[in-house]
Amino acid sequence: MTDLVLASSSPRRRDLLARIGVVPARVHAPAIDETPRAGEPPRAYALRLAEEKARAVPRTAGEAVLAGDTTIALGRRILPPADTEEVQRTLLRLLSGRRHHALSAVCVIAPDGHVRTRLADTIVAFKPLSPAEIDAYVACGEGLGKAGGYAIQGRAEAFVRFLQGSHSGVIGLPLFETRALLATAGVAFG
Mean pLDDT across the stretch 102-108? 98
| Exposure string over 34-64, b if 16+ CB within 10 A, otherwise e | eebeeeeebbebbbbbbbbbbbebebeeebb
- Residue 99 confidence class, pLDDT cut points 50, 70, 90: very high
Q: Which CATH topology does 3-184 take?
A: Maf protein (3.90.950)
Distance CA 136, CA 139 (A): 5
Positions annotated as catalytic residues are 69
Residue 3 has pLDDT above 90, yes or no: yes
Asked if 72 and 33 count as a contact pair (C-beta separation under 8 A), the reply is no
- The identity of residue 145, as a single letter, is G
Residue 142 is given by DSSP the state T
Listed by start position, the domains of the chain span 3-184
How confident is the model at residue 188, as a pLDDT? 87
Give pLDDT, residue 157.
96
Helices (H), 5-159: 11-19, 42-55, 85-95, 131-140
Tens digit of each residue's pLDDT (9 = 90 or more) over 35-76: 999 999 999 999 999 999 999 999 998 999 999 999 999 999
Confidence of residue 1 (pLDDT cuts 50, 70, 90): confident
